[in-house]
Amino acid sequence: MQKRMLGRTGLEVSIMGMGGIPIRRCSDEDGIALYQYAMDKGVNYFDAARGYKDCQTRLGPAVKGRREQAIIASKDGSRDAERMMEAIDESLRILDTDYIDIFKLHGVCQFDDLQQRTAPGGALDGLIKARDQGKIRFIGLSGHNADVLQQAVETDVFDVILVIFNYMNTAPAETLLDACEKHGVGVTVMKPLGGSVLTQHADLALRWVLQHEQVSTVCAGMWRQWEVDANVRVAEEFRQLDEDEMQVIEDQRQMRDKMFCRLCYRHHKCPNGIDVDSMMIADLCYTRFGLDAMMQGNWGEQVELTRQCASCDIADECRASCPHGVDIPRYLTHVHVTYMPVVEQYRGMHAG
């Protein structure tokens, strides 16, 4: 397994890390075993979060007796120092460890959120206090928008970032990666496969991310042994993409461009009740979590609401609100056509 330095932390991390969301689909026993299997294959970087169901409860037992071999990064969305300290203590308890290598502000996607969490008494103060107490070693933050993360990086407060980066979400390559290199901030990448959407030519997609030398590790979500094997093979045999492979990536990018949500959360709020945030990642969620999990909430009702998108009076306004040029009404119409029959079948099977 190839390794890279994680910014100024001095930590040497496997270029293939392991994300913490899809493992919720395993049983506890299988989840623990999968973490252990990944470690046996050379993976040493594990990204977790309090908000990832069952992730920490499985990671803790998996690293028992091997704690020094694992670099654990966790995170929480708390806004103030007190709640962040409580979150860290809870993660320490669940993971059954004396320290967490990296703890991050979770999901800092907008500038006002960054300002709130880094203000006096904000969550950042909780991270600093926990670091001073030896509960965590390094401070980080995660988010979906490169410009927000770059502002944070330039404060020299954060040691590590977790950012969306894939061949559809290329914004970090513009200035963020160079800023991280300049400030000694380690770069870890989430959604290198777009949250399981960019699985066609997955090996090329992973290599596209890894050929950016500022990236220390990609946190690929995995819940099956064959996925670990495939991703580890990419890391063991990593090489730059050649001209023909780059053309495949470019063809994929062009094909997906107007229908791929970048998860920036900067579109308008639908006045007709559609939760655009969740519906724009319907393919991602269906692939990642499965129908049973999706139908536990109001997903079915939201899919029903997308019926109106094909003839909506404000479709042009909706379309113009995406800074990446994604055709939101077109995608939401795709959601309705694709998933409404599935929702109806599910309801019929579970009637009464």
**pLDDT tens string 201-249:** 999 999 999 999 999 999 999 999 999 999 999 999 999 999 999 999 9
Asked if residue 263 lies in contact with residue 164, where contact means CB atoms within 8 angstroms, the answer is: yes
CB atoms within 10 A of CB 12: 13
Q: What DSSP designation does 73 have? A: E
d(CA 136, CA 101): 6
Amino acid at 157: V
Res 350 pLDDT > 90: no
Cα–chain center distance at 74? 12
What is the Cα gyration radius of the chain? 20
Helical H segments across 217-308, by residue range? 225-236, 243-256, 276-279, 282-289, 291-294, 299-305
What is the pLDDT, as a whole number, of residue 1?
86
Sign of CA dihedral 174, 178, 180, 182: negative
Asked if residue 114 lies in contact with residue 148, where contact means CB atoms within 8 angstroms, the answer is: yes
What is the pLDDT, as a whole number, of residue 267?
83
d(CA 263, CA 295): 21
The set of residues, in sequence order, having a beta carbon less than 8 Å from that of 141 and lying 6+ positions away, is: 75, 104, 105, 106, 108, 114, 149, 152, 158, 161, 162
Query: Rounded mean pLDDT of 247-272?
Result: 89
What is the pLDDT, as a whole number, of residue 352?
65
Q: What ranges do the domains of the chain cover?
A: 3-249, 276-349
CATH class of 3-249: alpha beta
Q: In b/e form, how buried is each residue of 178-200, taking b as 16+ CB within 10 angstroms?
A: ebbeebebbbbbbbbbbbbbbee
Asked if residue 249 lies in contact with residue 204, where contact means CB atoms within 8 angstroms, the answer is: yes
The set of residues, in sequence order, having a beta carbon less than 8 Å from that of 252 and lying 6+ positions away, is: 167, 198, 200, 201
The set of residues, in sequence order, having a beta carbon less than 8 Å from that of 36 and lying 6+ positions away, is: 62
pLDDT in tens, 316-347: 999 999 999 999 999 999 999 999 999 999 98
What is the pLDDT, as a whole number, of residue 260?
87
Prediction pTM value: 0.90
